Structure 1
Amino acid sequence: MDARGSVLWITINRPEKRNAINEGVIRQIREAVENAPLDPALHAIVLTGAGDKAFCAGADLGSNVQGGAFQIDYANPRHYVIDLFKALEECPLPVIARVNGHALAGGFGLVCACDMAVAADDVRFGTPESKIGVAPMMILGHMLRVLPRRKLLEMCITGEQFDAATMLELGVLNYVAPRPELDATLARLLANITNKSPTAIKLFKQGFHSMQDMSLRECFEYAQIMISIMASTDDASEGRASFREKRPARWASVAEENT
C-alpha cells in the first residue's frame, strides 16, 4: 500500500501466483480499506495487481480445493472474503479497480465490488469455478448488482471468459484503454474525483448503498433526509459560493487537512 497524493494504492503483490488471494492477502486489503477513511488526506482508493499478467486470478487453491476460500467455521461464520466485501461496501471513499491483467473468479468479484473500474483492452474476465466443481457464490451478490441476469448466468454456468470490450458494453467497466494508456485513463478519472467535495462524495456513497436495497417509496423518504444533511455542510456552502463567484471551489474538508 502506498499513498500517491490523495489516493491510496493497494496492490496485490503476488505476480508469481497471478496475484491469487489467500486469507492473509484479503485481510491486508480489508485493513487498508477500513483504515483509509481515517486519513483525511485520502480521497480515493485504487485496487490493482502487480505486473501485467493478472489483476487477480481468484483464490489461491494450492493443491486442496476443499480448504481456504471454500471453508467456513460454523462456530464463527464470518468468512474473511465476506468481511472484505462488507468493508468495500461501507467504505466512504470511492474505490477504483485498475484492471491491469486478467480478473478471474474472486478477482472478478473484486472488480464488481469496487465502485468503478478501468481496464486494459487485452485483459479477460470470467468465473471458471464450475470447471472445478463449485460455483461463484461468494461473489454472486456483487455480480447480481452489476451484470445483466442472462449474461451472468452464462458466465457462471459455462465458466467461459469474456473480453474487456464485452465487459464495457455490459457496464462492468467504466473505461477500457490500450495498455500503454491505462494509467493515463485512470489518472483522468481520479482527477475528476479528487477535485470534487470529499464530504459530498462520502455522503453520496452512504446514500447510494442504502437506497439500492430500498423500495421506491423508502427511497423518496430517505432522499429528503439526505439532501437536507448534504445542503447543511460547509462544502455545500462553499460550492454555492464558488458558483456565484465563478471560481474554483475551496472545499472546507480539504482546507482542514492542510491546517
Structure 2
Amino acid sequence: MGAQCGGEVVVELRADVLWVTINRPKRRNALNAQVVEAIGKAVGAAENLEGCRAIVLTGAGDDAFCAGADLQKQTEGFAFAVDYSDPTHYLVNLFRSMLACRLPIIARVNGHVMAGGFGLLCACDMAVASAHVLMGTPETKIGLIPMMIYPFMQRVVPVRKLTEMCITGEPFTAQEALDLGIVNYVVEKPELDDKMEWLLGRILNKSPTAIRLGKQAFKAMQDMGIDQGLEFAQAMVPSMASTQDAKEGLAAFREKRLPVWTGR
C-alpha cells in the first residue's frame, strides 16, 4: 500500500508498519492545516488496516523531523487563527487521534525538532533520534509560549527542565534528550534505520492484543490517583487473561515454543 496526501504527507504500509512521512523538506517539514489533517487521518485509520501493528512518524530528508508551524504561510491561518463557531484547532484534533490510537507510534527523528514538531515527538510512544538532531521550543523568541503542545510535554519532560525549555526557548541536543528520557535511543545518522528496524522487531514479535489493550489501559491510568489506578488494573487483568493471545502465550510458554499471535 502506498499513497500520497496532497504530496505533503506520504503514507505507506510496509509489511506490518504504517509509515507516515511529512514530505515538505524545503519547508523543513513544517506543519500546515493540510499536513496536520493528513497525519491525523492516517493515524485514525491505522487500527482498521488489516495487519497493521505499529506506526512510524518521520520527516523527509535529513535536515528536519518537523520545524513546527509554517510561520511563512500566515494566509493559511494555520498558526493562530481560530474559527470561533468551531474553535477546536486542527493540531488538537491530531493530538487527540494520537492519544486514542492503540497501536504503538514511534518517532523516527531524522532531523531537527522544533516547536509543534517537538509536540509531535512527545505525543509518540517511543522515539529513535539521529545524533546530529537539535530539539527545542523556541516560541518565546517570537513572543509566544508552547501552549498546545504542553499537555504532552509535561508527561515526558522533567518539570524543571520543561520550565527552562519553555521559558528560554534554547535548543538542546539529542544526547540531552536521551539523558532526560525524551527519546529512547540516539544513534549516528547512518545507523538510524537499522535501529528503527531493531526496535520494530522487538514490538512486532509480541502480542498485538496485549499491546493494544495495554496502551488503552495505560492512557486511562495516567490521570488516575494511585488507588483508582490499582482498582482499574485489577479489573483489567482477568479481561486481558481471557483473550486468545493470552491463552496462546501461556500455552507457548508451557510447550517451550514460539507463540502464534492472532491479535484477538
Smaller-chain TM-score bracket: over 0.9
Residue of structure 2 in register with 1:240 after alignment: 250
TM-score (norm 2): 0.94
* 1:50 corresponds to 2:57: no
Amino acid at match of 2:212: K
Mark the runs of 5 or more structure 1 residues left unpaired by the alignment: 255-259
Q: Deviations over 1:126-148 (max 9, x none)?
A: 00111111111010000011001
Residue of structure 2 in register with 1:217 after alignment: 227
Counterparts of residues 1-259 of structure 1 (less than 5 Å): 1-62=11-72, 64=74, 67-253=77-263
SS in 1 for 2:257: coil
The percentage of counterpart residues that share the same residue type is: 57
Q: CA deviation at 1:67?
A: 3.5
Pairwise CA RMSD: 1.3
SS in 2 for 1:239: helix
CA distance in 1, matches of 2:73, 2:44: 31
Q: CA deviation at 1:253?
A: 2.1
SS in 1 for 2:79: helix
Mark the runs of 5 or more structure 2 residues left unpaired by the alignment: 1-10
Q: CA deviation at 1:58?
A: 0.3
Q: CA deviation at 1:75?
A: 1.6
Residue of structure 1 in register with 2:7 after alignment: none
Amino acid at match of 1:131: K
SS in 2 for 1:77: coil
Give the 3 Å change call, closer, same or farther, for CA 65–136 of structure 1 in structure 2.
farther
Amino acid at match of 1:14: R
**Residues matched between the structures, number:** 254
TM-score (norm 1): 0.96
Q: CA deviation at 1:40?
A: 2.9
CA distance in 2, matches of 1:65, 1:174: 37
Amino acid at match of 1:162: F
Identify the structure with the greater helix proportion: 1
CA distance in 1, matches of 2:114, 2:233: 36
